[in-house]
Amino acid sequence: MSTAANPAAGHRPTGPSDPAASGPAASGPRPSGPKGQLARKVLLTLGVGAVIVYCLAPFYWMVVSSLRRTSDIFEMSALPSPLSFENYGAVFGPDQGFARALVNSLVVAGTTTVCALVLAIFTAYAVARLRFRFKKTILSTIIAMSMFPVVSIVVPLLRLFTDIGWINTYQAMILPSMSFALPLAVWNLTVFFRQLPDDLEQAAMIDGCTRGQAFRKIMLPLAAPGVFTTAIITFIAAWNEFLIALSMTNKAELQTATVAISKFTGATEFETPFGSQMAAGVLVTIPLVIMVVIFQRRIVAGLTAGAEK
């Protein structure tokens, strides 16, 4: 049989599965191989490592410096040699009053957290679950309050508290701290209450619960991860606050730990006690680190729960 009689014999048709049709033009994006996956893992590991080093390096150097002798405080070695705890002894010396300052920080931060959380829970529930006029305006106003820098209201507050006799009192530190903690707390809790199903609250009310009982028995327990996370964030912010505590107190017995550190004195008038300040910084930071490590699962659960629907 000649090829002229059968044109198909000399020209075989090609299809999508024909190897002859495969080529640079027909080939699509191919999944990356083991080398590409390895490169991504290496880059991800390097990126995470860089962030960890960036965050931990200052704290590590603070710990190392706190364990040096005063004469060795400016050494650049990675480890203190010899190891010395004299700075920690100096922190709790009778002239520093640091133990009292830690108690003041705990009182201010704890009271700020409790008061801000109670107000934020009810406000966030109302904004998220109730219907009323100007709800969006109220929420926008609350968020806008957080945009004011602390330094912009220190002078007016100082004048106000001086006139009413609140200087050198706990409330002079607690109320301003609450005003800055509330916007973030309300916003966080509003997100959590919004993502809770409406059917649960309605079913409870059908079963005879009032709205208050449904809130207390159903909604509040379900929002516990968000409440816990907000409490931790608020406490850390209040514990680390410096400018308000510095401006509203001039008595050593009422100063918080952050203010007390800034006022540490050395052996002479012209000596800056870097070692004692580093040791005090470690003592102030350790409670926060321990708290975050212990409750990290709850914190992560609270942060991720608000993003899920």
Indicate if 153 and 184 belong to the same structural domain: yes
pTM, two decimal places: 0.80
Indicate if 108 and 238 belong to the same structural domain: yes
pLDDT digits (tens, 9 = 90+) for 150-208: 888 899 999 999 999 999 999 999 999 999 999 999 998 998 888 888 888 888 888 88
Tell me the HSE value of 193 on the side-chain side, using a 13 A CA sphere: 26
Distance CA 24, CA 125 (A): 59
Check pLDDT > 50 for residue 79: yes
pLDDT at position 293 is 86
Indicate if 193 and 250 belong to the same structural domain: yes
**In a domain? residue 2:** no
Distance CA 99, CA 86 (A): 16
**Domain residues for 79?**
34-86
Indicate if 257 and 216 belong to the same structural domain: yes
**Average pLDDT of 25-53?**
79
Indicate if 150 and 234 belong to the same structural domain: yes
Q: How many domains does the chain have?
A: 2
Residue 258 to residues 98, 249, 254, 261, Cα–Cα distance (Å): 10, 12, 12, 5
Indicate if 47 and 172 belong to the same structural domain: no
Check pLDDT > 70 for residue 269: no
